[in-house]
Amino acid sequence: MLHLILLSLLLAPGEGVSWERDYKAAFEKAVERNVPVFLAFNMDGEGANDSTARSIYQDPEFVERSRDFVCLIASSAKHEARAETVDGAERQVCARFGSVTCEEHLKVEIRASEEFIGRDTVIAPQHLLITPSRRLLARKAYQASKDDLFKMMTLAEKELARLAGNEDQVEAARLRELKELALERNSERRGAAIVELGRMSNLEAHEMLFSLTDAENMDATRMEAIDALAVKGNYDALPVLSALLKDKSSMIVKHAIVALEKLELPIAVPDLMKLWKKNSKSTIAKEIPRAIARCAPDDPEVRESIYKAAKASQDSAVEESAIVAMAALKLDEEGIEILADKLKARSGNTRGLATWALGSSKLKEAAPILEKAKESETNANVRECMEAALRNLQIESGPDDPDFANMLRRFIEDDVER
């Protein structure tokens, strides 16, 4: 008890858990230390979340226990800043969490949601304990007491130690369990098992996913398996996904297109181009421009096809998709002219998408075009996007500003999550 009292006196006001600033680096640090990653999702304006951030994360006993883990905080909100001394230097950090800036915990939220949640709506508060190799050890959604979290932490440490001592046998047993779960009708258990199979660097796990894409399975199972195969550079999945472009179900085909997009392999483009020519007026066609742009952004045929569709397509959805796809290309003078012309379109969505593509280009020539268009823009959403695009153009290298990147969703709806 005395050590807790002393620790409480030593903690500065507002000091709490030492959150890691970078998602990837956090897992690298966990590998070096051979400790679990403690991942916390937190949102604003809700009692359980506010209490967790204010009380548990600032609790001296919890702060001390957290030092045994590599900790990540995921939050999509922006907060006030405060000064904090880190490694002898003063820097501005998020006033709600400390240690990290709001931009840093927002980037963590995006990466962590993609990897461990897999959907737009994140339940918060939510806490996950994860191995350094990114296998989920424990998860608690909604409010958790300090004791609940301590139990999870202890469980995760014991499980990590067990895995380290008997890794091959444990993985084989887990694979057998996942195979059974992946065939269940319960969507929650099935979906989680398929996601985990996708994260395993195991040929047997990948072959299991391949078999789950077969037409004899439920469409829901097939789509989840396709999505799990959608990993950049996954050559093994290419033949399976390309074959699914001929499936009778349009939704299966759409998932296959988006999965091929995420593989980012130029070799996938010929099959996608054939599909586009065959289905130029179908709902399938709108998924293709963005896919081929990411797979082969320097391919002249890809560029020509996307420019042609963006100028004027018989299908407005295909035209809008082509405009978005231009953001993945290295725009030349013709491309900039096409987008500049789209800023004069009657449709606010078209103007918004053209704005987003120009803002994503990082080209200096785009700034005066957007500045001029902003003067006469009356749509509040488009105008806000123009302002964000101009800010994004000031970032010469590195990822897009998160606020700007998220604006794409205002102007286009995806049938398949990207």
**Which of 12-16, 35-39, 251-255 shows the lowest mean pLDDT across its residues?**
12-16
Select, from the ranges 66-70, 168-172, 199-203, the one with the highest average predicted confidence (pLDDT): 66-70
Q: Residues 319, 396: one domain?
A: no
- Phi and psi at 332, nearest 5°, equal -100, -170
Q: Residues 143, 263: one domain?
A: no
Q: What is the extent of the structural domain holding 408?
A: 331-418
What is the CATH classification number for the domain harbouring 41? 3.40.30.10
Residues 225-265 pLDDT 10s: 999 999 888 888 999 999 999 999 999 999 999 999 999 99
Domain assignment of residue 187, yes or no:
no
Residues 338-375 pLDDT 10s: 999 999 999 999 999 999 999 999 899 999 999 999 99
Domain assignment of residue 364, yes or no:
yes
Give how many domains the chain has, as a whole number: 3
Q: Residues 359, 396: one domain?
A: yes
Domain assignment of residue 64, yes or no:
yes
Which helix (H) or strand (E) segment holds residue 86: the answer is strand 81-86
Q: What CA–CA distance (Å, rounded) separates 401 from 259?
A: 25
- In this structure, the dihedral spanned by the alpha carbons of residues 186, 192, 193 and 194, taken in order and rounded to 10 degrees, is 100
Domain assignment of residue 185, yes or no:
no
Q: What CA–CA distance (Å, rounded) separates 366 from 337?
A: 10
Q: Residues 158, 35: one domain?
A: yes
pTM: 0.62
Token match 């123009």: residue? Answer: 386
Domain assignment of residue 124, yes or no:
yes
Domain assignment of residue 171, yes or no:
no
- pLDDT category at 166 given cuts 50, 70, 90 is low
Q: Residues 18, 160: one domain?
A: yes
